Structure 1
C-alpha cells in the first residue's frame, strides 16, 4: 500500500527484515516460534496452577514471567504476520503507541521480576530458615503488583513523550514494530531532553536491577563455596541455573539495545535485538525452565497421565 493512501497519522512499517530474499520462509519461522511460545508458556501456567507442589514463590513468579512472554510475543507477531499476508504496511498512530507501550511496559516489568527472582534464590540458598517469612505469599503479591504498576508507569512516560514529538518527512519505520529510536529519528525537534529521560529510565530499570541480580549471585556463590556437601552445592547451583540463563538472554539483549550508542545501530541490528527480546526469549523461557527442572517435568508427566487415563 502506497504511503499516499495512508492518513497523516499512519506510520508505514517496512516489515520483518524487508531486505531478506525469502520473506515467506521468515514468516513461516515466525509463526513456528509464535506457536511454540504460546504452547510452552500456556502449558507452564497451567501446570503451575494445577499442581499443588508448584504453589511456591518461585513458581508464582515464573507464572508471571510466562504471562509476560505471552503478551510480549502477541503484541508484535500477529500484526507482523497480518501485514505480510494482506500486503498492508500501515499501522495507525494509536496502534503504534499501544504497541510501544506494551513493548516497554512488559520489558520493564520483566526486568523487575527477574530481580525479585534473584532475591528469591538468594534467600533460598543463603537464608533457608527465613525463607517462609521473607517470601510469604503476601510479599510476593505486593512485589509483583509493584512490578506491573511500575512497568506501566515507566512505559507511559516513555511512550507519551516521544509520541508527542512532531514528525517531519516520510512516516516510514524500518522495522516490524513501532520502536522509540525509529520515532525519534523522524522527529523534527531537539530530543536531547528526552535522551536524558531515557538515560534515567535505563539506569533505574536496567542497570540497578542488573547490579542487584549480580550482587545476589555473588553472595549465593560465596555461600555455595562454603558448603561441605557436594550434593548440597549441586542442588543450590541447579536451582539458580535456569534463572541465570534467562537473565543472560534478557539483559544481554536489553543492554545491546539501550546501552550502545544510538548512532552505532543499523536497522538490521535493531531488528535482531528486537527479535531476541520479543520472539526468541519468550519461546525459549518455558523450555529453559521446564527442561532443567525436575518438579516441572514431574508435574507435566502427572498431568499427561491424568489426560491419558
Structure 2
C-alpha cells in the first residue's frame, strides 16, 4: 500500500523562516515516518502566488496535492495541519478531506496544536504545548506571546492558553493577538497590574513571518515593541517561529502517531472510536 503524509501549513513568503520552521517540521516528520512519503501544501493562496511570482517556487494547494496523490495511486493519506488553532484554515483542510474521502482506502486528518483540553480521556494539548516551550519562560522574567488572532470563534483558544499558563504557575507569561482578543491593550493592562518593566516578545506562531517582523518587532510606531517602549517597558525580542523548536514539532509527530494508532480520531472520538462522555 502506498502511504503519504501531506503536511499542510498556512505558508510563508519569507524564505529564511520557511527553511527554519516549516521545512524543519517537515524533515522531523520525514525522519519519524520512513514508511510514508512526505508532501507539502499551503492553505494561503496569496502566499502560493507570491512564491511563484517572486521566487519561481511552486507549492500546491491542499486540494491540488490530494488530487496528485490520488492519481499517483496512494491508498493511505494522513493530512497533518501545522496550524495553531482549529480556525478557518483547519476547516478548509477538513472540507478537502471530506471531498476526497471516497478516493482513498484510509484518509485521516490530524488536529492542530490547540484542540483538546480538560477531558480526562483526551490529550491535554495546552499543557503539552507549555511543556514543549517552557524553556522560553524559564529563561526570561516575563514573556509576551503574540499570536495571529481571528474573527472565528476558535479565537477563544488564546484566552484558554492564558488560563492554563496561569493554572500551571506561569503567571508572567502573557498571551495577546494582532487581530483578536486578548489584544495589545489587554496585555498592557495585565503588565501594568503586575508592575512589569521588562518583557520578551515572542511569536505564538509557527513561523516568524510578516506579523512577527512588522506588527510585533518592527520600529514602526504602532508595533507592539514600539508601543511597549512608549509605555516605559524594556523589550527583548525572541525572533524565532515555533517551528524552530524541535520539542514543539514533536507535538505534530505525536498527532500523526495518534492517527496511525487509531487514537483520538476527530472531535469527540477517543481510542477505538468510542465516543467520549462529557459530564454536563
Q: TM-score, normalised by structure 2?
A: 0.28
Higher helix share: 1
Pick the structure with greater CA Rg: 1
Higher strand share: 2
Q: TM-score, normalised by structure 1?
A: 0.26
Whose RCO is larger (CA < 8 A, sep 6+)? Answer: 1
